[in-house]
Amino acid sequence: MVLPPRPLFLCLEGLDGTGKSTQCELLVSWLERLGRKVVFARDPGSTGLGLEIRRLLLEYKGNMATGCEMALFFAARAQMLEEVIRPALKEGRDVVLDRYLLSTIAYQGYGAGLDVDRIWQAGLFAASDLLPQLILVLDLAVNVSMGRLNGIRDRMESRGNAYFDSVRNGFLQEASKNPETIRIIPAEGDRLTVHSRIRQEICNAFNE
């Protein structure tokens, strides 16, 4: 199996509790073992400004309008794009992201009711039309993924299961609309089983 020499721009998505962070780590290690240079980033976050915005998004105690929430995610992402993603791709490094614009579509669109087409338009503008080549959505039933969250839930995680059902449905619908770039990865099973599904999907997409 040979991956192309050009930099890969990959993103893992999915509900909270689907094991994204663990799978991002395994994916980065695998790419590095193949001799590739990899930059990992977490959306929102990964820049000084992005971390401040992330804190607001996860910890703000007052009421936050969904449009404000969306705009804050866009703001953090725009900063990350300029500071982290674009320079990495320019230097020939792969980029692995823990979430990106599809999360805004699923959470603020399907979950919270903002118009999905308009989020795509505004989100692409905020992200300078730069989208991952491949988005892998870790998919798990809501009661299972929520059951995996332990400890105190943050502002986003404390929403009810009906909200997360709509978010999950959003990921699934968007994948069926864009099967070339958005692929569903069943997230049940142990971490190495899920990791091998991810590798397989990447190989299918990029093997040359």
Report the C-alpha gap between 162 and 142 in whole angstroms: 9
Report the C-alpha gap between 181 and 137 in whole angstroms: 11
Shortest Å, Cβ 31 to ligand TYD:
20
Which of residues 19, 44, 109, 170 is near ligand TYD by CB under 6 A?
44
Shortest Å, Cβ 104 to ligand TYD:
3
Q: Which is nearer to ligand TYD, 21 or 161 (CB)?
A: 21
Q: How many residues does the chain have?
A: 208
Tell me the CA end-to-end span of the chain in Å, nearest whole number: 8
Shortest Å, Cβ 74 to ligand TYD:
8
Shortest Å, Cβ 79 to ligand TYD:
13
Report the C-alpha gap between 8 and 95 in whole angstroms: 6
Closest CA to 44 of 123, 101, 86: 101
Cα-atom radius of gyration of the chain, to the nearest Å?
Answer: 16
**Which residue type, as a one-letter code, is found at position 68?**
C
**Interacting residues with ligand TYD between 94 and 113 (CB under 6 A):** 98-99, 103-104, 107-108
**Interacting residues with ligand TYD between 174 and 193 (CB under 6 A):** none
> Contact positions toward ligand TYD, by CB under 6 A?
16, 20-21, 43-44, 58, 73, 98-99, 103-104, 107-108, 156-157
